Amino acid sequence: MATLPMAPHAAAISSFTTRPLYSPSSRSHRLLLARFFSAAPAPALAKGLRATASAVEVGGVKIAREDVVKEDDPTNNVPDTIFSKIGLQLHRRDNHPLGILKNTIYDYFDKNFTGQFDKFDDLCPLVSVKQNFDDVLVPSDHVSRSYNDTYYVDGQTVLRCHTSAHQAELLRDGHTHFLVTGDVYRRDSIDSTHYPVFHQMEGFCVFSPDEWSGSGMDGTAYAAAELKKTLEGLARHLFGAVEMRWVDTYFPFTNPSFELEIYFQDDWLEVLGCGVTEQEILKRNGRRDHVAWAFGLGLERLAMVLFDIPDIRLFWSNDKRFTSQFSEGKLGVKFKPFSKFPPCYKDMSFWINDAFTENNLCEVVRGIAGDLVEEVKLIDNFTNKKGMTSHCYRIAYRSMERSLTDEEINNLQLNVREAVKDKLKAELR
Ligand code: PHE
């Protein structure tokens, strides 16, 4: 992922979820109010894409397709592929790697903080722009607010892009210790570790002045020390006796902010992002004079290493050869690939226009090929004398479950080319 220079308030952050909220993965920082991706029927629905149900229920809230996918509304950029994931709640399946991981983290908090943490895993992913951004102090010009990075249902409503969206309301409801697990949604490029829907767990813990008064530390230092102790314990609970390090970073809602990394399988792996909650958030939500710590971790990222799962699309598989390998309470059982099907690469070159972004391209490709697309990668890029810029992308098609036929792939590629022409207004070369 490209690292771009950023405004000081949005300094580059390294990733701890499958994609960091506050690092600039997008090429364009402008608000792109155009609808690049229509939910109009895809020319050929890839085999394996299930027909979309017309309504689902999450946490007692009924969500109909029309509530989320609004083809004619220029302030909406939610495609059917995304609507089809709402309500699946992989993290609530006890036999699924994400559910197993969630429960193992619950066990850690239950054992070390018995009865203290309230758990939420069924909060509706449709939230207001205020909840997702304003309430956690995300600056008004921050890149994560752009239509290129976030799924907007309308100008005031988004599919949450992080579980931090629930911090303020839970605080206001009187909760002081909580864990929030949920599906989160981000527009992004395509490769084996990125998927536009993934799962996070948020932790939050408030301290009152009497808790740190005798410690010889100020509130912030006390919360930071408690945070580090708690999360080092969690990392050992999940990974065993590993080497760890703390890396300073930036989030709009915490200060100081850190990432925890562990040395695992010969590499440093970011496990989570965290920090001491900004006073302003506590003050606005009824906890003036208190301090708090917060963390957010990406469940897929951890599950991929703990269970040896090589591709993020597998989490969504209903194939028995995947699902039957995991069972409740068994963290870290190594996944055995049922077979490795060959990838097929197709290149396409086109002249881009000013509105072009890689995220839009990826959405178009995903709209046609669904989970049969493994990677979309820029392999060549030049600007001619007239100032026209050409991009060449290599698309890798590969099923996790079966071999694809040449005919099928050629068809997909043909449809992708048409869609790139129609929807992105790119001129194919
Ligand atoms: N919400 C952050 C993200 O998604 C993670 C985070 C949560 C960081 C809480 C600090 C505290 O990138």
Q: How far is the CA of 165 from the centre of ligand 1 (A)?
A: 10
Distance between CA atoms of residues 280 and 252, nearest Å: 11
Take residue 165 and report the two structure tokens written for it.
Answer: 């969206």
pTM of the model: 0.89
CA distances from 387 to 56, 188, 382, 384 (A): 48, 27, 9, 5
Ligand 1 atom nearest residue 22's Cα: 12
Residue nearest to atom 10 of ligand 1 (CA): 274
What's the half-sphere exposure (Cβ side, CA atoms, 13 Å) at 194?
19
Assess whether the region 55-324 and the region 344-428 belong to the same CATH fold. no
Ligand 1 atom nearest residue 298's Cα: 4
DSSP H/E element including 212: helix 209-212
Q: How far is the CA of 22 from the centre of ligand 1 (A)?
A: 9
Pocket of ligand 1 (CB under 6 A): 17, 20-22, 162, 164, 202, 251, 254, 273-275, 294-296
Domain 55-324 fold: BirA Bifunctional Protein; domain 2 (3.30.930)
Residue 247 CB burial class (10 angstroms; 0-12, 13-18, ≥19): middle
Q: How far is the CA of 220 from the centre of ligand 1 (A)?
A: 18
Domain 344-428 fold: Alpha-Beta Plaits (3.30.70)
Ligand 1 atom nearest residue 163's Cα: 1
Residue 389 CB burial class (10 angstroms; 0-12, 13-18, ≥19): middle
| Domain extents in the chain | 55-324, 344-428
Residue-by-residue pLDDT tens, the chain, 429 positions: 333 333 333 333 333 333 455 543 333 333 333 333 333 344 444 444 445 678 999 999 999 999 999 999 999 999 999 999 999 999 999 999 999 999 999 999 999 999 999 999 999 999 999 999 999 999 999 999 999 999 999 999 999 999 999 999 999 999 999 999 999 999 999 999 999 999 999 999 999 999 999 999 999 999 999 999 999 999 999 999 999 999 999 999 999 999 999 998 889 999 999 999 999 999 999 999 999 999 999 999 999 999 999 999 999 999 999 999 999 999 989 999 988 899 999 999 999 999 999 999 999 999 999 999 999 999 999 999 999 999 999 999 999 999 999 999 999 999 999 999 999 999 999
Take residue 68 and report the two structure tokens written for it.
Answer: 């989320």
Distance between CA atoms of residues 215 and 232, nearest Å: 20
